[in-house]
Chain A
Amino acid sequence: MALLEVIGLTKKFVGVVANDRISFEIEKGEIVGLIGPNGAGKTTLFNCIVGYHKPDQGTVKFNGKPITGFKPFQTNRAGIGRTFQIMSISGSLSVSENVMVGSFCRVSDSRTARQEAAEILNLMELEQEAQARMNELPIAAQKRVGLAMALATKPKILMLDEVAAGLNPRETEEMVALLQKIHAAKDLTLFVTEHVMEVVMPISQRIIVLDGGQKIAEGKPRDIANDERVIRAYLGEKYVEGRKH
């Protein structure tokens, strides 16, 4: 049985079909990438799964149980963690306290939560930043904190929204290494939405491609990279021409 099943998911906004009968499965332990040009419907699909949107049609199953129409906190409690592209957190909480908030999803005792947060910060190499405020940190560190917060809720699958957006090449590389590390350490399933090919290609075992709200391809990174339909949709005609030379 697949960990996450999306069956015939359709989401319409006024005049636009953002997701058109999309179906796919993600097995436990996999790393799956979701790519597609701007406006392909990636974010909508993401939001339909985690519960920010209610799909018009179709079913989302997690661990075999339907979770369609769940609220975001319910999908999280079911075991779906997510990160945000940009996370603006104001207020008085420090980095380690923010991670504690994630822990409180599963534990109610603040001592346990504090301990768990410390462990996760360790894993994420964020000990130095533990007492800082979110808005004092550089983008790369903020992204790692976001990951740590989501991890603290002990998800079975982690959905990453544009995890490399705004990072420079070196930081991107570090992020890829970190993702591989937590994938191994936490026995996680990863579902990665991404623009940056340097992230998706090396880590994904399988890639799903969206264009115009429809799923146009699914397969191994190497096959996807060579699929002309995908290249045309995603990278444009010029790239296809370039590759022929």
Chain B
Amino acid sequence: MPMHALKDALSFGDLPASERIGFAIFIAFCLVFPWISKGSFAQAVMIQFLIFCLYGLGWNLIGGYGGQVALGQAKNVGMSAYTVALFMVWWDVPFWFSTPIGVIIATVESFILGYFLLRLKGHYFAIATICVSLVWQQLFVNWDLIGGARGVELPLKETPNFVYMQFTSPIYYHYFAFVLVMGAILFMNWFRKSRLGYQLRAISANEEVAESLGINIHWVKVKAYCITGVFAGMGGAFYAVYYNYIDPFSVMHLELSIMIALMTMIGGAGSMWGPIIGAMILIPMDRYLGAWLGGSGIVGVDFMIYAFMVMVIAAYEPRGIWGIIEKARRRR
């Protein structure tokens, strides 16, 4: 069994050649990027892109494959990021020890919440997740013990330090994020061929039919929701050590959750590459637009563009850019 799982994770043989080539180019690009990129801004955007790939790949499980529009990834990102940051501030606990704890906290929260909320369907579930996110957000903004609105700054070590994940060059962060993303992609590659993956897709296609095929739909959704929490938790832990500073607006905010969901939907929810395509378009656009418009004082143009894209996509091709690609391919 585990051998089979590993083989499934590593084998991309069932995909068309074009997809395999695309994936290989993606890997090669990520590997050489630190050596060809000029300037720290591009490098920062790249790392951000990788973090968002991780979030998006995770969200795709529940939101894409499962069809449950969860809008609360930020709270899992935040919980894990805060765990890593606060453990270091309070007790000087290194990244590698606090990260598992942070991920577990994020996952347990997902489990408890998912257990109750995933009985709700469609719109109700989406609204409920927003509402819970807002409760957490308010709590974190007002909770002085954990820094409140001021956030938490991670103390810097004197020398670069692997156990605390503190490096002077972004290259290390880049490769670490890349490893995380690759891990996530391999996991998704296993997942889409696994029992859980098929059952989840069956649920999103038609719950009544799925139930009649012996699927405990509530339980399967809860499992998927927890995995989504793990991905977000990993991303959050990395975020904390990469930026060395977190606050409720950067890791706990509803806007982050919305961004993750929109990005995945634009790329193509429920497809293997959708989240990556979404991140590839939105993150650079976001950063460069932000840098470009930043001076002029116009905020949120980026969000307007995404929102417009989402509306068009929802009205014409709910399966996003990947849906358009597949349609073109089937016609050929």
Contact = CB atoms under 8 A, between A and B. Distances in A.
Task: Find out whether A and B make contact in their complex, taking CB atoms under 8 A apart as touching.
Answer: yes
Interface of A: 50, 52, 71-73, 76-77, 81-82, 84, 87-93, 97-98, 100-102, 104-106, 108-111, 113, 149-150, 152-153
A102 B206 contact: no
Contacts of B208: 52, 72, 84
Contacts of B10: none
Contacts of B194: 110
Secondary structure at chain B's binding surface: helix, strand, loop or mixed?
helix
B213 A105 contact: yes
A188 B217 CA distance: 26
B270 interface: yes
B205 A90 contact: yes
A100 B195 CA distance: 9
A73 B208 CA distance: 10
Interface of B: 1, 4, 8, 67, 193-195, 198-199, 201-202, 204-206, 208-217, 270-271, 319
Contact of A101 (B4, B193, B215): B215
B202 A98 contact: yes
Nearest to B190: A110
The 6 closest A-B pairs by CB, nearest first: A105-B214, A91-B205, A76-B214, A72-B211, A101-B202, A104-B195
Contacts, number: 92
Contact of B209 (A71, A84, A105, A152): A84
Contacts of B216: 71, 73
A38 B206 CA distance: 26
16 contacts: A73-B211, A73-B215, A73-B217, A76-B211, A76-B214, A90-B205, A91-B205, A93-B202, A98-B205, A100-B198, A101-B201, A105-B213, A106-B214, A108-B1, A110-B195, A113-B198
A110 B214 contact: no
B215 A105 contact: yes
B206 A88 contact: yes
B1 A87 contact: no
A77 B205 contact: no
Which of B194, B198, B201, B210: most chain A CB closer than 10 A? B198
A71 B210 CA distance: 12
Nearest to A107: B195
